[in-house]
Amino acid sequence: MPPTLPDFSSSVKLKYVKLGYQYLVNHILTFLLIPVMAGIVLEVLRMGPQEILNLGRSLHLDLVQVLCSSFLIIFVGTVYFMMKPRPIYLVDYALYKPPVTCRVPFATFMEHSKLNTSDPKSVNFQMRILERSGLGEETALPPANHYIPPRPNMAAARAEAELVIFSAIETLMKKTGIKAKDIDILVLNCSLFSPTPSMTAMVVNKFKLRSNIKSFNLAGMGCSAGLISIDLARDLLQVHPNSNALVISLEVITPSYYSGNERAMLLPNCLFRMGGAAILLSNRRKDKWRAKYSLVHVVRTHKGADDKAFRCVYEEEDTQGKKGVSLSKDLMAIAGDALKSNITTMGPLVLPASEQLLFLFTLIGRKIINPKWKPYIPDFKQAFEHFCIHAGGRAVIDELQKNLQLSTEHVEASRMTLHRFGNTSSSSLWYELNYIEAKNRMKKGDRVWQIAFGSGFKCNSAVWKCNRTIRIQDDSPWLDCVNRYPVHIPEVLKL
């Protein structure tokens, strides 16, 4: 029997209905003002020159009123611009590219695991993790981890830190032309390696930075510490005019190698790899014209008050006294809860009015009409052109793609970064951003959302706006391989 009513889902293109609704709501003020302005213009055109002059005389404005009004306008404008936050510009950034000698193919990794681990079950577990990890054959580990057994001593850790940090800074200085004396603020984050003197002191000593530089060394803050460093640098730039801030994000892998058999502690061995980034921020107006991006928002969420969240990424010793970082089975659920809190704060800042209204109506409907209504997930694709999701692991990217309803292209940068460089901790977001640039997809006016998760447990977000169309640069770590990406990553890669 034919249906009594037409099938509206097929007879009407609902996609265009939704687009029409979005355009109408997002430009409602324009649509309301156009008829009003048109009416005023028509009324003025109907009046003669004499009537317009009479209207002006009827206002009875004298010189004192004009001067007072002008002074008030100038005063209000001055106060507004003085209270307005300083714009923060990302002038440029540089990434560390590990040498070929540091690469660790799967076969090499598994061979070393067999030689370094006495338990065959631990070897098989690491093999299964690698098969499903999404990592490729070109990821890199520091030189100390290539020894049998590995040599995670202080000297090797310092050597890795110096190699990554100094290389990235030297590349950044060459790109931007900035001198050591021009750096006013220095912020560095590294979770698992915190020597004395600090790594910021290492940078000051190497590059002979000024004695009055404001330096900060952040430790133990996990993979999301890169955005915490950006937030700290932004706050400092708000109170120090005409300044430059150098932000360094990395993780030193050498001291974090785990040689035991606890499965929860073996996971970082399989996922974490070598990498680092150096970022130059500025609040100088003259840097606006050469800066790549402008910082729009930073939103930080901390779930450390909850015991499970606090312990889900935890550095400790196993039963044999061997130190390592333990990853809880509840990690994904805790990350999802932290993301929910973060986007609840982020949504009103970035979403268009159409999405906020739909979310509000659904929320009211669930409270008043039917609690079983499916909650509305805002379409963040309307707020951002690009997404940089922390390449912490395949499961993290899969979960965010599903929850935020992102396309394959939206998470391509995250997946390919995980495949080519592995989990480089806090610097992974910058490898992802550089992938988008290397693919020549970054256009002027594009908005980028960086999302990172870290121990504690934290979820942090940063929003950037592109100031100019960006093309691949000669120092890009993707330069020699971007043409063969994206690659197909199977669910399970049998080793």
**Residues identified as active-site:** 223, 302, 386, 390, 419, 423
Tokens of 321: 């006294």
C-beta of residue 450 within 8 angstroms of C-beta of residue 481: no
Instruction: Name the burial class of residue 158, with classes exposed (0-12), middle (13-18) and buried (19+) by CB atoms within 10 angstroms of its CB.
Output: middle
How many whole angstroms separate alpha carbon 171 and alpha carbon 394?
30
Tokens of 215: 């330096």
The number of helix segments (H) and strand segments (E) in the chain equals 17, 11
How many whole angstroms separate alpha carbon 417 and alpha carbon 391?
7
Query: For residue 2, is it left (φ>0), alpha (ψ between -120 and 50) or beta?
Result: beta
DSSP classification of residue 374: P
DSSP 193-231: ---SS-HHHHHHHHHT--TT-EEEEE-S--TTHHHHHHH
Q: Could you give phi then psi for residue 309, rounded to 5 degrees?
A: -65, -40
Residue among 294, 343, 301 at smallest CA distance from 447: 294
Pairing of strands 313-317, 323-327: antiparallel
Task: Give the Å distances, CA to CA, from 194 to 219, 253, 315.
Answer: 6, 12, 14
Tokens of 347: 């949504």
How many whole angstroms separate alpha carbon 288 and alpha carbon 90?
9
DSSP classification of residue 461: E
Residue 118: Cβ within 10 Å count: 10
C-beta of residue 266 within 8 angstroms of C-beta of residue 126: yes
How many whole angstroms separate alpha carbon 385 and alpha carbon 387?
7
Give me the sign of the Cα torsion angle 280, 283, 286, 289.
positive
For 95, the 3-state DSSP assignment is strand
Count Cα atoms within 13 angstroms, Cβ side, for 332.
11
C-beta of residue 430 within 8 angstroms of C-beta of residue 226: yes
Pairing of strands 447-454, 386-389: parallel
C-beta of residue 334 within 8 angstroms of C-beta of residue 399: no
